[in-house]
Amino acid sequence: MALEDRYGLPLSTSSPEAAFAYREGIDLMLAGWTGTAETLERAIAIDPDFALPHIARARVHAFYQQGDLARSKAARAREIVAKRGMERERSHVETLSLAIEGRLPEAIAATLKHVEAWPRDALVLSLPLGAFGLFAFSGMADHDRARQELCEHLAHHYGEDWWFLTMYGWAMTENGDVSRGRGVTERGFDLRRHNAHAAHAVLHAMFEDGSIEAADQLVDDWIPCYERAGILHGHIRWHQALGALEHGDAARALAIYADVLQPKATQAPPLNVITDAASLLWRLSAYGHAVPRALWIEGDAAAQKLFPKSSLPFADVHMALFAAATQNREALATRLAVIEQRLGDGKLPAGPVVPAVCRALAAFADEDYAACVQLLAPVLGEVVRVGGSHAQRELIEDTFIVALMRSGELPRARALLDARLHRRPSLRDTRWQAAMG
């Protein structure tokens, strides 16, 4: 009898032990849990000619921006699967390899083709989902809708699967169906509590519906079971820091930053390191709280090492936060020159919103609030193209609101805040009290 993965797909290994380790490793990866890499390495050690653990391990390397290791593992998986793989495994390896190599259009096309043939291949289906997935980083303006529609298309293949419910519910939440999304995500979370992606997705729903106290309590109750080395540990605490800021508690937000988000303290993947650090410090400053300059300098230095060159628009925007806050005009000018070149060459799918946001952030830091407003106003509706979640992208709207306030355009600022409170009527947002009087 052929060995199978948890979703009933056959595996090209004759070792029950390798198959077991692979199944466990994939579940740990889909849950964002610690032990993923070690478990996949165990599967590789048991059966070195089993391609799937190699490509799964490559994906973990890619999460942590270990490009050489990721590409090496992907190449090994391709080599093995060419000799000993089934058709599904060959397609699986190739699709994941394209994603690891950053070939987004090809990876998206391969993913959609693959899941039509093998809809229960969860690891491949995971590629376009989430705030850092292929759809989010494709430059699409409707990536939130695309994720929900893809999940709806395949939902009957998964039923009450804990991983699928997590991602399906989060897709609903990001696409504006917050109440339904929260309910679906919580169902998945209840099925597997040791699931960081589910905890994270529930926190997004709570952010959107204004359940700030409930979100804070969820983190306090749940985080003790999740090791600090977990891929989402710091980011889940980042959500808790956002909750503190909703109530004007800058001291608590800064304490969370020092504990798990500061570059010297975090164990997060590089993209989370820079985005969580830059966005929290920027929010603190924009809302009128004092941020020690040393934190910005340290964060900028770490960010420059991790992302020395222009890369993903989402990373570039957060690098611009560091450059603007530290007045590192040379770094920003160098990055903008590359971004503009890519835009001119038609190689920046996110489009002109990227350089516009970067320049607006610099204007804000220079206290040229009118220029910030002028730069952001035409592109606010396009910010979604840079990727990430709505909670993360809201930083740009917040910057715009503060720039309106500080340039004397209080009616426009108030209108935007009223619209937000209409979307989230239960939100008790105290960030703006001082500025709005």
Rg, Å, the chain Cα set: 22
Q: What is the pLDDT of residue 430?
A: 60
Q: What is the pLDDT of residue 427?
A: 56
Q: Model confidence at 361, in pLDDT bands (50, 70, 90)?
A: very high
Tell me if 253 sits within 8 A of 281, measured CB to CB. no
Structure tokens at 22: 């692979």
Q: Model confidence at 386, in pLDDT bands (50, 70, 90)?
A: very high
Q: Cα-flanking dihedrals φ and ψ of residue 4, to 5°?
A: -130, 160
Q: Model confidence at 423, in pLDDT bands (50, 70, 90)?
A: confident
* pLDDT digit string, tens, across residues 296-319: 999 999 999 999 998 899 999 999
Tell me if 133 sits within 8 A of 170, measured CB to CB. no
* pLDDT digit string, tens, across residues 102-117: 999 999 999 999 999 9
* pLDDT digit string, tens, across residues 393-420: 999 999 999 999 999 998 999 898 888 8
In Å, how far are 109, 167, 392 from 144, measured between CA atoms? 17, 12, 14
Structure tokens at 17: 């032990």
Structure tokens at 226: 């999740």
Q: What is the pLDDT of residue 252?
A: 97
Q: Which residue has the tokens 């043939």?
A: 117
Helical spans, DSSP H, in 210-311 = 212-222, 233-246, 250-256, 270-286, 293-306
Q: Is 275 helix (H, G, I), strand (E, B) or coil?
A: helix
Query: Smallest Cα–Cα separation from 280: which of 301, 260, 303, 254?
Result: 254
Q: Model confidence at 437, in pLDDT bands (50, 70, 90)?
A: very low
Mean pLDDT of 355-359: 97
Mean pLDDT of 353-360: 97
Mean pLDDT of 32-37: 98
Q: What is the pLDDT of residue 433?
A: 58
Tell me if 427 sits within 8 A of 418, measured CB to CB. no
Where along the chain do its domains lie?
Answer: 1-127, 139-211, 272-437
CATH number, span 1-127: 1.25.40.10
Helical spans, DSSP H, in 135-211 = 143-154, 162-174, 178-191, 196-209
Tell me if 313 sits within 8 A of 141, measured CB to CB. no
Residue 421 CA to residue 222 CA, distance in Å, equals 28
Q: What is the dihedral of CA 185, 188, 193, 199, to 10 degrees?
A: -20
Q: Cα-flanking dihedrals φ and ψ of residue 27, to 5°?
A: -60, -40
Q: Indicate the pTM of the whole model.
A: 0.95
Checking if the pLDDT of 434 tops 60, the result is no
Q: Is 10 helix (H, G, I), strand (E, B) or coil?
A: strand
Mean pLDDT of 268-292: 96
Tell me if 93 sits within 8 A of 81, measured CB to CB. yes
Query: Smallest Cα–Cα separation from 312: which of 365, 254, 269, 262?
Result: 269
Mean pLDDT of 354-382: 96
